[in-house]
Structure 1
């Protein structure tokens, strides 16, 4: 296997030569073999081990085993202990998903802190087979059946070409030691049930099922490549980027065949799962929306507006204390006393400081808000002002108001309130700027 692995690295992972590599090593068969193979081929490697504290003494013994492995090979060792169950409970996640988030978040920290180029995992062909059927049973699109990618940004999986049987045979031929995870023998998880009960039955009817699925996945990957090429054309035709996110032209999308499938391809990277609701927006009224865990899709006249949900999406009010020179949340604002006026534009205004009552409030607009636009005698509803300015629904929601008590001082980046303007009697000027 060593010579085959060397050939695999040369043909498909040549970028690993000379790179600083961090191996995710649980102490199990696969990761131990990956570590030993790379060590024998003289790659620059280190071990990273996660103790998820899920199996008591057994977890601690796994950590000790991997530490001893690193010491015997005289390579760097990194480890971390996680309270996985508490994290899962606090974040309302399954134990498996919690462990995954903790693992990769910590890997990122280690990579950044110690300058590693890639994190290597020991996923192999059998894992890929299990994932194929796992996704099939849960319902998936074409992409979900194309297999585990050999490289995903910093994560590299050089053992995907090899089966578990090949890995086990190599380990035995080299008299290697590894740890057995007792949880792998339980059928509580669907993946384990597939591995232990379903796939062995399938292999009885087709001993070459692994090879057949791999061939199918190669065909599906070719089909996926065609889809992605087509989607590039669709993207250029119907999607435009702006400061707040993306705009999708509904008319142009609707003119193309398989409109729902096109929406799926465009939007699935943003975490949407309620696809019937997404497709329903094609015939919905302005203002209807669908949200994912990270993004919002809004129908606005003849377009869909896709924006990211930020931490401040639910918080609508912030305060600026007297003598405070700047804030950076939710937007960047600087307040500087000055003795003369300079250039004025949408991002810079000058106000009469003596007319301000602190703390100033920075808040989102509400129905019924009125102000006196600079240069006007009377008041105007903000909703009417926004309509005259032709702001979209999303643009309106991104507007902040700088207020002194209940009076609007500035519709930020849009219009100053006339009541706070500089006059011949003004004694103290305050320059307010934003970084949009």
Structure 2
């Protein structure tokens, strides 16, 4: 089909496909279709342009018979046009107690991602358009989002493709009417129960009378947000190095700039990450945060104080991260976890028992089975040669294990929940691999030893 035969909206979609994926590549998409005007329009355009498409419809069963008719329209249309389609149903009761629109969006994208992986497609296509972009920017402003977040949505963010993002709702409506494309109207969108509906139904329709050209002005904010993002990257280059965030330089910044910079760095770790204002407000604690301590920024990221640095590290709240529970017979036949090797050997009481490259413990002093796990705050043990107990956290600090590497340390815990050994993370040029407990040390009458070492 020549370009002269394409309508302006079709040219826009084709140009966005070519610009994003290149002329030589023929991309395939998982296309989310609700049955509404926007998504049915995009489905029609994809079909007309011959773009490889797999339709996914999610039925929330929120509107009874109306929801069933939405699903039927999508399925029937896809079948008529020879396009593969699958549908999912979710129970609306599961969304009770949550922001329903956010919950529904999360459910929708869970299914999109599932099909994307199964079909090995190039991306998830959705029918967001220019008016959606405007509403998104306004909501972020009203909710107190920082300037960097005012950039709104991208045509392609590496996962989601929005080929209609520069097309207005009015242009879509005109195109749908001209091509007699069937669609259904979700009547819940006509009420103002949700924030986006309130903006769309009661505010935005009146603004043009008072502020002609206001939509262009809002979209212009995206450019300003882009400049701010560039400035943040320039600052990030000044206050970070290969070791992390330089504490002294970070603390010299204004608090709001610290928040923006932290959010910028998190988004570099994970595109599209959501961070609450409450989480970012915790930077007030950084001034007095002690080395080795952390603050939880999101479910998956912590900010760690490591002497003169802060480090962003992945990992949820502290929990008992058990690797494996091991019987005596399992260890006797050699147990390996990554480069860590556990075995049982005959014990000869000699200087070999006191070398730094291997740990030896009296097998008969251990209550079996034992558990190999990551340590957590609150763990204590009785280090070899000490009369009293010491926290594992303090022991690691005393052994010069950096705050960043402490999370890689292990403990071996007996059935009676007594820590028999602390195993340090392997670091080049450091010989000692850990410390055993005084309570399981080998003596003259020891017959068999639990032997621990890092294999090469």
Q: Shorter chain as normaliser: what TM range?
A: 0.7 to 0.9
Q: What does residue 248 of structure 1 align with?
A: 245
Q: What does residue 45 of structure 1 align with?
A: 53
Are the aligned partners of 2:13 and 2:164 in contact in 1 as well (CA < 8 Å)? no
CA offset at residue 75 of structure 1?
Answer: 0.9
1:238 maps to 2:243:
no
Which residues in structure 2 correspond to 1:72-83 (within 5 Å)?
72-83=80-91
Task: List alignment gaps of at least 5 residues for structure 1.
Answer: 242-246
Deviates more, 1:352-361 or 1:363-372: 363-372
Partners of 1:278 and 1:217 lie apart in 2 by 28
1:66 maps to 2:62:
no
Which residues in structure 2 correspond to 1:170-181 (within 5 Å)?
170-181=175-186
CA offset at residue 205 of structure 1?
Answer: 2.2
Report the 3-state secondary structure (helix = DSSP H, G, I; strand = E; otherwise coil) of the residue aligned with 1:135: helix
Partners of 1:368 and 1:102 lie apart in 2 by 39
The alignment covers a number of residue pairs equal to: 419
CA offset at residue 20 of structure 1?
Answer: 1.4
Are the aligned partners of 1:146 and 1:220 in contact in 2 as well (CA < 8 Å)? yes
**Equivalent residue in structure 2 for 1:21, among 29, 44, 57:** 29
**Equivalent residue in structure 2 for 1:166, among 156, 171, 176:** 171
Partners of 2:123 and 2:379 lie apart in 1 by 54
Q: What does residue 385 of structure 1 align with?
A: 395
1:286 maps to 2:287:
no
CA offset at residue 67 of structure 1?
Answer: 0.3
Report the 3-state secondary structure (helix = DSSP H, G, I; strand = E; otherwise coil) of the residue aligned with 1:74: coil
1:411 maps to 2:422:
yes
CA offset at residue 410 of structure 1?
Answer: 1.1
Structure 1 residues 37 and 233: alpha-carbon distance in aligned structure 2, compared to 1, 3 A threshold: same
1:96-142 deviation digits (Å, cap 9, x = unpaired): 11111111111111011122111100000010111121112111111
Q: What does residue 365 of structure 2 align with?
A: 355
Partners of 2:57 and 2:417 lie apart in 1 by 56
Q: What does residue 302 of structure 2 align with?
A: 296
**Equivalent residue in structure 1 for 2:277, among 268, 273, 279:** 273
Partners of 1:85 and 1:389 lie apart in 2 by 53
Partners of 2:388 and 2:111 lie apart in 1 by 54
Partners of 1:391 and 1:77 lie apart in 2 by 54
**Equivalent residue in structure 2 for 1:137, among 139, 142, 149:** 142
Partners of 2:171 and 2:63 lie apart in 1 by 28
CA offset at residue 355 of structure 1?
Answer: 3.0
TM-score (norm: length of structure 2): 0.79
Structure 1 residues 319 and 167: alpha-carbon distance in aligned structure 2, compared to 1, 3 A threshold: closer
CA offset at residue 408 of structure 1?
Answer: 3.1
1:357-396 deviation digits (Å, cap 9, x = unpaired): 21324564666934233xx476663465334223456655
Which residues in structure 2 correspond to 1:49-198 (within 5 Å)?
49-86=57-94, 88-89=95-96, 93-198=98-203
Partners of 1:68 and 1:169 lie apart in 2 by 23
Partners of 1:228 and 1:346 lie apart in 2 by 47
Are the aligned partners of 1:26 and 1:50 in contact in 2 as well (CA < 8 Å)? yes
Partners of 1:289 and 1:384 lie apart in 2 by 15
Partners of 2:48 and 2:74 lie apart in 1 by 17
Are the aligned partners of 2:345 and 2:451 in contact in 1 as well (CA < 8 Å)? yes
1:391-424 deviation digits (Å, cap 9, x = unpaired): 4566556644313336432112232336545667
1:226 maps to 2:230:
yes
Partners of 1:344 and 1:74 lie apart in 2 by 74
Partners of 1:291 and 1:170 lie apart in 2 by 48
CA RMSD of aligned residues (A): 3.6
CA offset at residue 253 of structure 1?
Answer: 1.8
Are the aligned partners of 1:118 and 1:154 in contact in 2 as well (CA < 8 Å)? yes
Deviates more, 1:204-213 or 1:334-343: 334-343
Partners of 2:245 and 2:335 lie apart in 1 by 33
Structure 1 residues 2 and 338: alpha-carbon distance in aligned structure 2, compared to 1, 3 A threshold: farther
TM-score (norm: length of structure 1): 0.82
1:248-303 deviation digits (Å, cap 9, x = unpaired): 22112234x54641442223636252267434234325277543332333445543
Partners of 1:365 and 1:156 lie apart in 2 by 42
Partners of 2:28 and 2:9 lie apart in 1 by 18
Q: What does residue 244 of structure 1 align with?
A: none
